Structure 1
Amino acid sequence: MTIRFGVFVPQFRLGVGEVKARAVAAEQAGFDSFWLMDHLYSPGGRPTDSLESWTLLTALAGATSTMRLGHLVGCAPFRHPALLAKMAATVDHISGGRLDLGLGWGSVEAEFETFGIEVGTRRERAEALDETLEIFRLMCTGEQFDYDGKHFRMRGAYGLPTPVQDRIPVHIGGAGRTLTMPLVARHADWWNCVGHARNRLEELAPLKGDARISVQYAVGFADTAADIPDVTASVARRLPESGWGAPLIGTGDALTEQIALEHRRGVELFVLRFHDFAPPETLERFGREVIAPLQSVLQSRSDQVIV
């Protein structure tokens, strides 16, 4: 099983140049993917600058060349599925086939109320996401189609141009047994387990179908052992366990060991949110002290199996 690393940088209180600098640094450090949030504001926070995610993604596509790009996760109720598919195909072309489509049915109900977006109940939003993903795949074929669903109806619809990739990977985020996991099993290439559900990973994994596992982690990356108390306090303040689960905290060696243990649980893609907002120097150091050693060890084990 491979190991991959993504960095999650929610784009509030950051300018375009600051986000681009982080994306470039992440790519150079060996991260495989870069992820944005998809909100109209910073949920639960004070009013602050918050850049629109799809527009920002196009800027990141132009600033990078190898790293995959996406949202964890996109909010499906914000956009009609035909528009979403058109946007995804366009970003896939701009990036040269590097888009991953992260989607969820929208769990921040206060956001819908604040901005007057009619979305229905949670079950209705999950049903609409099911239809959205069906329509997305139909749009990606470039062929005309009719669609008769409970929430969406189309006649002679089609999506051109088709994406660069034969199949844009779909990531579905969440951990609900009733509404989310059935969608993961039907549609997802990746199941993105939210941090607070990580303690139920083994319980939920049998419900994911063929989807691969990615997990979100809060990370406190300490420069030295003496820095760990301050880093721990910063993580507790900025990334509480109620939302992010138990954090990974320590120096490079300690984080390498913690990530190796999580990898043995079946996690293939580690999506990390750093306590210090992931400045370029943190990303470079993480790549050098954690990503490179872990990949070297896994490659060595793979070579031994082949022999």
Structure 2
Amino acid sequence: MTSTTHHKYEKQAMSKSELLESLERDGFVLVPNLLTPEQITELREAAKETVDLARSGAWPYVRTLPKQFPPWNPADVPTHGIWGVQSLMHPQLRTSPAFIRTYFSAPMLRTILSLFPGSTPSSLVLELFNLLTRPDHNFQLRWHRDDIPSSATAQEELSRLAHPAFHAQWNMALYADASLVVVPGSHRRARTEKERSMGEYETGVEGEMRVQMQPGDVVFYDNNILHRGVYDSGVERMTLHGSVGLEGGGGVRARNVLQHGLKDWVGQIDFSCLDEEQREIAEGMRERLLKMAAESGDVGYSLDG
């Protein structure tokens, strides 16, 4: 593919941003009002249709209760219900254009590039785009890091945490959302003895905080920050959950992404809803994901449970 300069995406990408400084220091950073009111309305409608489809059992790519990590079995939907919908860019999902336009929007990619100083759109890798929704009954995720098991020793944790980040992961709220609980700064250190011995769903952990999001806000976070989720079945929740990668992530990043099954259909994503410049970026990002998939083989799963 011919290399093109994408000025409207790159103008914030050449120096260390305040966003990156916050992300590096705290392990997360909140970006308010990244979506316009019109985008929020469009995405709420698309998300509702998608969730209704999933709850009916007609969409197989779901996160079923009470299972925290992949793989999930769609046969469990009628008896256990769901807490998320996977594969928002799948070519067979009628609502996918709204999600695709959001994933590749200029404000979104500009923000992501500001977290990777010196990078350009031709460095980016297409990754995940899913939807976290109100569970059918109250549900909590245990304390975890996304790609480091709780059985890891302090030295193993430090070794994994020392690896540079090759992705940006985020939650994008369509309704007010305070589900994400984090321990700021825990992405830069091993767990303390108290954290190692605490209960899986322990509350009042030293330093913990809930991330308060309003509609249109996006929180970017290091997926190996110590975090958990608390989901109230009585509160509407439609929060888009995605990631974009950077070339060079290797096997660790491949496992984190490909365990969700998207390599089976990502080659068929329809980018016709994008303008020419966005489409060129999207196709390049997809090519880099397919290259990573071809080089990685069978990646397995990051965590159990």
The TM-score normalised by the length of structure 1 is 0.26
Q: Which has the higher contact order (CA 8 A, sep 6+)?
A: 2
Question: Higher helix proportion, which one?
Answer: 1
| Structure whose alpha-carbon radius of gyration is higher | 1
The TM-score normalised by the length of structure 2 is 0.26
